[in-house]
Structure formats: C-alpha cells, structure tokens
Structure 1
Amino acid sequence: MGATLRALRALVLLCGFYLLSLLLLAALAGADAAVVSWVHGPAGIKIVAVSVLLAVPVVRGMFMLRTPRGERPPGVEVAEADEPRLWALVRELAAATGTRAPDTIVLTADVNAAVSEDARLLGLRPGPRLLCLGVPLLTGLTEAQLRGVLAHEYGHYTGGDTRLSALVVRGRVQIARVIEHFHEKADGKVAAERGRQEKAAAKRVAKGKKAKEVDTAGAGVTYRMMASVYTLYGNLYLRASLSTARAQEYAADRAAARIAGRDAIASALREIPALSASHDFYLDSYATLGLPVRLLPPRGEFFGGFARLLAARAQEPAEPRPELPTMPASPYDSHPPIAERVRRIEALPDDGRAAEAGGPALALLTDAEKTLAALEDAVLSDEILGYPRAAAWQELLDAAMVRNMSAVRTPLHRALAEYTGQPATLSALLDVVDDGRLWRLAERLPLSDEAAAAKGRVFREFVRPRLRSSLRTMVLAEFSARSQLSWEFSWSRAAAARLTGPVPHDAPDDATDDAPDGGPEAALEAAVNAALADRPDTAPLRALLPPAATPAV
C-alpha cells in the first residue's frame, strides 16, 4: 500500500470517528425531540438532562483542536559540532535514502532507535525531524549494523510514515479521550450512589435496623454503554491502523536492505533482542546494584559499564542464541514479529555486501565517556544523582552485599521461627540439628506435592538441596556480620563469596574436594554437607564459625 492510500485510510478512519459521534448526537437529539413531544413534566426534563450530559463528552472529543505532541524521551541532544562523525553518518545515509536528514539527534538510554516529525496540517506540511538513538545500541552494535538500523528509520521518512502518524495519533487520542470521559462520569455516578447507600445504611444501623447491602451495579450504566460504543470503534481503529504500521515496518526493512545491505540489517535485527535482554540484565544486576544502599557506580559507569559486561562475556564460550520472537509483543504492537522480518529480509537476493564485523558503533562518538556521564545527568532522577559514588565497582558490590546479607530471609528462616517460636538464628538451627529434629523442621518448608507426600530417605533427598542452599546462605550471613566474608566482582559471572578465615585443623577430610587450594570455601561446603547428612554432624560447621557473643540473625 502506497503512502497515498495509507493517508487515505488514516483519513477515513479519522472521519469515521466524527461520523460515529455525529450519529450518536443525532440519536440523542432525536430521542430528546420524542421526549419533549410525548413526555411532560419532571420526567421529561430529567431524560433531556441526561441526554445533554451524555452529549458533552462526545462534543469535547470532537473539538480537540490539535494533535497532542509526543514527549521527547530524556536524553542528551548532540550538535554536529559535538559529534561530527555521528552526524556525518546520519547525513550520508539520509542522502543515500533520498530524504531530509533529522534536524535534531538525541542520545537516549534505551535499546532502540526512533524517528519522528512534527508535521503540520495533519501531515500535509513537513516539520522538524527528530532522531532518538539509544546509546546501548551504539555500545552493542557494529557500525555496519547501526547503518542498517538508521537506514530502516529513514525508510519511515521516505514512506511518509512520520507525517501520516499525525492523522493516526489524532484519531487514537480522540477516541481514547471520549472513552476516558465516559468512564470518569460512570465512576463518579458509582461513587455518588455508593455514598448515598452507605449514608442510608448508617441511618438504618443507628435506628437498630439491619443495613442493606450496597449495590451500585446500575449506577452509571448509560455512560458505560456509550463508552462501549467508542471502545468497539477504537478496537477497529487500532487493528486497521496497526496493519498499516506493520506494513510500514516491512517497507522500511526493504529500504534498509537496499541502502545498507541485506546482511547488515538482518544481523542487526538478530542482535537487538539479545542486546535488549543483556541490557536489562546489566541494569538489574550491575547498574542498580547499589541503589538499596544509596550508592552509585563511578561517574559515567551507570550506563558505561554495559560495554565492559559485553566485552567480558564475549570472551566466554558462545551460548546458543534464543529463538527470535515469532509473535508480536502484544496484539497492538506496531512492529511485526522479528523472526518474520528477518525471514523476509534474508529471502531477498544476495547483494554482495556481507555485514562487516567492525568495531562497536560507540567509536563514532568523539568522547564516549563524557557522553555517558551526561546521559546519567539527563536520565536519572535528581534524588538518585544525589547519592554518593563508589570509587570502584568492587566497593559497590561490597556495600550492596553487606546490606543483602544483613536482610536475608530464606524459607528456612521462616520455617525455623515457626518451629521454635524463637528468632531464626544459625545457632538455633544447629541446636535443632543436634537434637535430631532437622527433618521435622524440613516438613515446614514450602514443598511440592510430590515432596510433601514422600517419606523417609526419599523425603530427605527431596528437601536436602533446598536445605543446603538456605543453610549456606545463613552461614554466609553469619560471616558477613563478623566481617569475615568478601565478594569477588566479575563482569563474566555472578559474584563469588570468599571466606577470609583460616581452615580449622579439624575440618573434614573431604574439605578439599570442592577447591584445589583446600581453602575456607571448600571447608564450608564440606561442613554444610556434614550438617545435612543422614547422620548429621554440626561440629565441622561450628568449628568454622569464629566465636561471637551474639550470633547474627
């Protein structure tokens, strides 16, 4: 479907909203005329008043004079003087695509790239163009892949998609606005009716009578009926406009393959889902690690550490990539499934332009460290920016893990507190083990139906892994509380606990089985296994723990 037909469809859909509104207003006016002719007195006046109230949201929705402007995502606006290499690439691709380059580039914190245009007169007149480019994309994609992504975005410019979006957005906003007005009115009626009934119920109770149950099922029903009419049209509007949007994505992919090369855009689309998952993992496990203790990574590292994680994990054996999504993210997602997009691109004839490996596109920035620091200032809240900075990632990890260890509460903690009626301490747990009550305690853990039905040795084998994990955590918390636990920071794997105490002379003979150096970690694993054996022995574990007046909780 060409740009002209897409514009016509968008205009028809928008006109359909106005036609529906005019039909409803005509129906209300006709009903009022009939009421005035046949119904007299207060009843007729009430019906006409309700009709007028129903017409107000319709009229307000019809006379929204302009399309709301989309909010620019937070980020760093970069001028051509600041980033000449990036701007040169942007202008080169715009010329190759045969379209006007963006007027503004904003670097964001998202794994995404997007273009928009502030078109006038419902898209008939062009307007200023904006390119939003995620720094994580620059970090994780090669320059060749980035060229493919930018060429795809410019495909939206050449197809007129950014100008037509004014029509589509206006219709969506107006329909949503009318539905919202009707729901607000319905909610107000429900609240008023509830208040009236509760007041009447209070009076009945004061008189010694039984209060009636509050029932607001009939309140606001006319408003909800009107909202449902617009909701039905809204669903039709969304599905029709989304089919257009998905066709636009396929067209932009073809434009990208023509400008940047088939393999470049295909490899970029394959990479972006994995890059997005890695970035989410990085934010959860690294960047925000110190927020619970009000501590930030070193300056520029909140977003900059992502490059370190990618570099470290690139040295690890490659894991199989997850399958590309074969379904849209939601029924109303404007993008087709990536798997289908890649299939269509790779079905194009080989153009002889294999995707170049190259270095990260982040090298396009003149001063990446400065940009990453500025991105923090633009994206993070003032409250978070006020937190002190760790001198290094290791300091951030240490502070976070001390806090985590002090607040740790495993299922074993809860079961032990219920079983003994006392605070769940490691000392109390070891006493329960010495008294031969460990497996009775284990029955209070959250168990699967199969584990709960098991008996004897089978039961012990079911619960032993969970007991081992919780007991080890309790021991580590004890060492942390006594400042005899450190953590080894790593970009390529989870942080590893390191006990700083010596191995006791009476450690079990198999204390060296789990570590080549026979260090404290190996002694800990052996001691935990001994405490959870069929014939438990807590002596090795007690020997590992340094004396303390009050055990940690």
Structure 2
Amino acid sequence: MREVSSSDGGSGMARRASARVWPLAVTMLALAWWPYAAIAAAALSFAAYTEWWPLAAPLMFLATGVTVAATRPTALPGHAVRPDDEPELAALVDTVARHLGFEGPLLVRITPDPCAALARIRVGGVRTCVLVLGLPLLRTLTEAQLAAVVAHELAHERHTRRPGAAVLHFARDTLGACLDSPFRRRLIPFAPRLLRASQPSAWQAETAADADAARVAGTTATADALRHTHTLAALFHGPATDWWCALEQTGRRPEDFYDALDIALKNPYVARRAADRVAQDDAFDPYATDDHPPLASRVAALPPADGAAAVFRAVPVSLRTAADVEDWCVERLGSDMGVTLDGLWEEHRAHLTGDVPACVPVRLLDMDPDELRRQVDDLVEDPDLRTATGRAAPAEALAAALEALDDGSWPSLADRCDGRIRTAPPLARPELRRDTFRAAVVCGLEGVLRGAGWTSTVRWLGTVLTAPDGRVVDLDALVTGALAGADTTALRALLADARTQEPA
C-alpha cells in the first residue's frame, strides 16, 4: 500500500472542506434571497394569468440598473503610490511578493484610515490586484511588521483562488447583511446557525494567511503587527474619530491629526483602553458574522518561524512624498467622516455646495485638553442616569445605579437609559445592556468627581482623572471591573470621597 504523504493528507482535507463549503454557501444564498425569489414568482404568476405589460416598467428599470453597474468604470481606492516616488515601499512590497510567489499586476494605494486589504479590479481591461494600505499603518509599523501585513493580504489571493472560498465569503456577507433588518431577520430564522457552521472555514482562511505572513516576516513581527493594527483601528474609529468630528462640527479641522494619533497611541492609558475595546469587540459576535478570529486566537495560532526578518528593518518605511500623502488623507477624511456620521450630513452637503466657509485649521496638540473634552462631550450623547433612575441629583442617581448593580436589576436600568435596546436583535441585547450601563455609570461618576475637584489626567481620555490628593483613576476600567465582578465597593468608596470633597 502506498504511504500517504502530508501533501496528500492536506489535499484530502482541502477537498473535504471544499465539499462542505459549497452546500453551506448555496443554502445561505438561498435563505438570503428567498424573499426576492418569492416576490419574483408572485409577479410572474400574476403576469402568466393576466397581462405582461404591467411588468414592463420594473423589468426595464432592472435591466438599466444591471447595465449601468456592469459598464460603470471602477474607481481606484486611495492615493496612488508610484514606485519611482516611493522606492522603499515598492521594494518592500516586491520582496514580500517574491517570497510568496505572487504573480500578476499589483498596484499600491494609500488610504486615510488604518486598513489593509487586497482588491481585485479591472484596469484598462486587465484584471489587477490593488493593495490598499492605511497611512496610520505606514507611519507606525516597522518594516518587518508592515511586511507581515502585506504578506497577509497577498496570501489571501492564493487562499481565495478556489471558487468555494470566494462564494462562501460572498454568501456570509449577504446573509449577515440580512440580520440588520428586524423584518428580514424574522424571515431567516436559521441564519445564525448557518453563519456559525460556516465561520470556521472563514477563520481558517485568516489563520492560513497569518501563517504565510509569519514565514515571510517572522512570528514576532507578525504577532506585533496583529496587535498594533487592532489597537490602532480601535483608537482611530473610536476616540480619534470623535476628536475629528467634534472639531469639524464647530468649523475647525485638525491639521496635525496623524501626529496626535501617533502620540496618543503611545500613552499607556489610551493603549490599554484601545486593547480593551478590541477584546470586547472580539467577544461580541452574537450571530457569528465576524470572518476574523479573535486577536488572541490568531496570535496563539502563529507557527514558529524566523521568516526573512533580517531583510526588513525595525524602523518604519520612509515615504518621500509623506507631506503630500498626509495632506491628501486629511482632505479625504474631511469628506468621508462628514458623510458617514449621523447628524453631520447636512453640514457636509453645505460644504460641498459652498454654502458655508471651509473649516479653519487647528492643531490638536496645542488645544486646551478641557476644551477638546467639552467638544467631544457635546458630540457624543451619553446615557442619563438621572432620567433613568428618577433622581434629580447626580450623586443620588449614581447611588441608585450602584444599588441596581448590587441587586442585579441593572439590565432593566440599562433599558431605561436607552430604549433602543428592546428593539435590538435578541442575542445582541445582553452586550448592549452592559455597554449602556457601563457608559451611564462612567459618565455619572465622571460628573460627580469633576464637581468635587478632580481633573483630567490624559489629554485624549476624559474618564482618566486625577484626585485632589494626586491619585489617578481610570473610571472606565474601574466600572468595567465592578460590572464583571458585581462588586461596587471601589465605586462606592469613590462616591463617598467625592461627597466629602464637594465644595461648600
């Protein structure tokens, strides 16, 4: 009998995985599209027994939409990177591509946000891969870490060449989008079960790309790159977005946005808050729609490898056109954030039509921290404990919230803080209640402590405070721990201190 080699075994596992992927993908697409199929069947049945002319207008509208979508040129994402302008970045990408055996046209583009992706589009009729790299990554990752990020994205091209992998990804995205609508969610009761069944295959594609990245750049650099990109994304899409939008709402634009982002990330309180946010997001996946495994799992699954670490330096890639790229990214951010944030669309449209003057440049690093905090507080609407508890005094409302945490009735208090929780997807409600209650208690405690003379410790976080006696307390971490352990001792001690320190 012929011995079965490891490659034979791997091929066998791949065939079994592919055989399992196709039925899952087809079933998910059938479930996602069955309401449309039912409507189409009803329309065809109506036409079969009456006349076809009532369907002429919808069919023409559909045909026009399909034709426009098929013939519309695809816009390239991001800012173009030419090898002659950025030889160091081009050399790094070329080195990684050679190590992976990547072939075919490859363009590199830079975007304002900390993303990394590989897109496939047609440029001049030629199927081309476009590597998208975020400017925050290029500014802060070392060459070895950036090589790991590039290798991960280029490896996806190889791992997703099989039709089954691409179809599974499309089916998961399509079915997951259906869960956003309560009506459609009721029409597809088995969606969560199918998404959970298909999630391991999606995760396997990510860990396989991580393994390739480790073989190219080394395990240590890959692990550091994974942690850094997740932390940076949490900071960018959380507090940093609040800074930007709070200032733009008052007609100002931070010209040193990326410098402030770099400095904020080096602060231990900010880095820990971002890492906690990453862990919370990883744990919150009620419908198994996340195609990426939790960060800790990805790091633990990396194979031991030295890679080509000696080829890459421990410093960021030098961009010759850094000033021009940053100016483009800042301008692009002003457009993107104005469109995507609720409540700012009208202002953004006014900017486009020229009805209001352009934003005034301002430096974040030169701003008074309390002014920045007030601007962010005006933008972000925090839950109000006083309304939810029926207590007029902030300290009394906070004491009532701590009593609710002690007796276990805090979920109902969270529902009163935010009425939208009751209409949220059932599996998402527990985490939403936890987030709402934590935010309400943190906001209430911050107000009470500031009234007792506590001051800001960190420019970037309004909930890290310094007491009159010099103690530093991270309120978010304190409330999170109290909620996890159902222990209000530390919070009650702070409230008692605040009451004794209140000015007469």
**The TM-score by the shorter chain falls in which range?**
0.5 to 0.7
CA–CA distance in structure 1, aligned partners of residues 164 and 87 of structure 2: 31
Percent identity, aligned pairs only, is: 24
- Residue 359 of structure 2 aligns with which residue? 387
Instruction: Show the 5 A alignment for 1:77-476.
Output: 77-100=80-103, 103-118=106-121, 127-161=127-161, 167=167, 228=187, 231=188, 242-284=199-241, 286-297=243-254, 299=255, 301-311=256-266, 313=268, 329=285, 330-345=287-302, 348-351=303-306, 359-361=314-316, 363-381=317-335, 386-391=358-363, 393-395=365-367, 397=369, 399-400=371-372, 447-448=400-401, 450=403, 470=447, 473=450
Determine the C-alpha separation between the residues in 2 that align with 1:233 and 1:404. Answer: 41
SS at match of 2:131: strand
Partners in 1 of 2:217 and 2:93 — Cα distance? 12
* 1:380 counterpart letter in structure 2: G
Aligned equivalents of 1:334 and 1:467: distance in 2?
Answer: 36
Normalising by structure 2, we get a TM-score of 0.56
Q: Structure 1, residues 228-250: CA drift from partner, whole Å, max 9, x if none?
A: 4xx47977876676544322222
C-alpha distance 312-328 of structure 1, shift in aligned 2 (>3 A): closer
Cα distance per residue 1:80-136 (max 9 Å; x no partner)? 23322111111111111101265322212333311122379xxxx981111111222
The alpha-carbon distance between structure 1 residues 77 and 162, as it changes in their structure 2 partners (threshold 3 A), is: farther
AA aligned opposite 1:135: L
Deviations 1:330-370 (A, max 9, x none): 5122223333322221xx34548779995553x43224333
Residues 49-99 of structure 1, C-alpha deviations (whole Å, 9 max, x = no match): 699999x99xx79x9788899986863222223322111111111111101
Q: Is the 8 A contact 2:106 2:130 kept in 1?
A: yes
The 1:241–1:452 alpha-carbon spacing in structure 2 relative to 1, beyond 3 Å, is closer
1:131 partner letter: L
Structure 2 unaligned runs (5+)? 1-9, 339-346, 352-357, 407-441, 472-495
TM-score of the pair, normalised by structure 1:
0.52
The structural deviation recorded for 1:8 is 7.6
User: Following the alignment from structure 2 to structure 1, what is the Cα–Cα distance between the partners of residues 324 and 142?
Assistant: 20
* 1:482 corresponds to: none
Could you say what secondary structure the match of 2:155 adopts? helix
Give 1:104's aligned amino acid: L
How many Å separate the matches in 2 of 1:87 and 1:99? 14
In structure 2, how many angstroms separate the alpha carbons of the residues matched to 1:174 and 1:452? 39
1:112–1:364 distance in 2 versus 1, CA, 3 Å: same
1:371, distance to aligned residue in structure 2 (A): 1.9
Q: Which amino acid aligns with 1:379?
A: L
CA distance in 2, matches of 1:252, 1:467: 44
Q: Does structure 1 conserve the Cα–Cα contact (< 8 Å) formed by 2:111 and 2:133?
A: yes
Question: What displacement does 1:447 show?
Answer: 1.9
Distance 1:49 1:176 in 2: 37
For residues 412 and 14 of structure 1, the distance between their equivalents in structure 2, rounded to whole angstroms, comes to 46
Amino acid at match of 1:274: T
Deviation of residue 312 (structure 1)? 5.0
SS of alignment partner, residue 327 of structure 2: helix
Q: 1:157–1:170: structure 2 CA closer, same or farther, 3 Å change rule? A: closer
Distance 1:390 1:397, change over 3 A: farther
2:491 aligned residue? none
Rounded to whole Å, the distance in 2 between the matches of 1:50 and 1:98 is 58
Q: Give the CA RMSD over aligned residues.
A: 6.2
For 1:495-539, what per-residue CA distance to the aligned partner results, in whole angstroms no more than 9, with x for missing partners?
9999xxxxxxxxxxxxx98479xxxxxxxxxxxx99955xx9x9x
The letter of the residue matching 1:364 is S
Contact 1:266 1:342 in 2 (8 A): yes
Count residues with an aligned counterpart: 397
Which residue identity lines up with residue 253 of structure 1 in the other structure?
A: D
CA spacing shift, 1:79–1:358, aligned 2, 3 Å:
closer
More strand by share: 2
- Letter aligned with residue 302 of structure 1: F
The equivalent of 1:524 in structure 2 is none
Residue aligned with 1:130, SS: strand
Task: Please identify which structure carries the higher helix content.
Answer: 2
Q: Secondary structure at the match of 1:250?
A: helix
Matches of 1:409 and 1:317 in 2, distance apart? 22
Residue 253 of structure 2: SS of its match in structure 1?
Answer: coil
The answer (yes or no) to whether the contact 1:267–1:355 under 8 Å persists in 2 is no
Structure 1 unaligned segments of length 5 or more: list them.
33-44, 188-223, 420-437, 454-464, 477-486, 499-511, 517-528, 543-553
3-state DSSP of counterpart to 1:296:
strand
Q: Please give the secondary structure, in 1, of the residue aligned with 2:360.
A: coil
Are the structure 2 counterparts of residues 406 and 46 from structure 1 closer, same or farther at C-alpha, using a change threshold of 3 Å? Answer: closer
Q: Residue deviations 1:362-410, cap 9 Å, x none?
A: x432243332221011232276682111256333646546768999999
Tell me if structure 2 keeps the 8 A contact 1:304–1:372: no
2:152 is paired with a residue whose SS is helix
Letter in 2 for 1:264: A
After the TM superposition, which of the residue ranges 253-262 and 402-411 deviates more from structure 2? 402-411
Whole-angstrom distance in 2 between the partners of 1:264 and 1:105: 22
Bigger radius of gyration among the two: 1
In structure 2, what is the Cα distance between the partners aligned to 1:451 and 1:157?
52
After superposition, the Cα gap between the structure-2 partners of 1:318 and 1:282, relative to the gap in structure 1 and judged at 3 Å, is closer
TM-superposition CA deviations, 1:127-159 (whole Å, max 9, x none): 111111122222332221111111111111223
2:215·2:307 contact (CA, 8 Å) conserved in 1? no
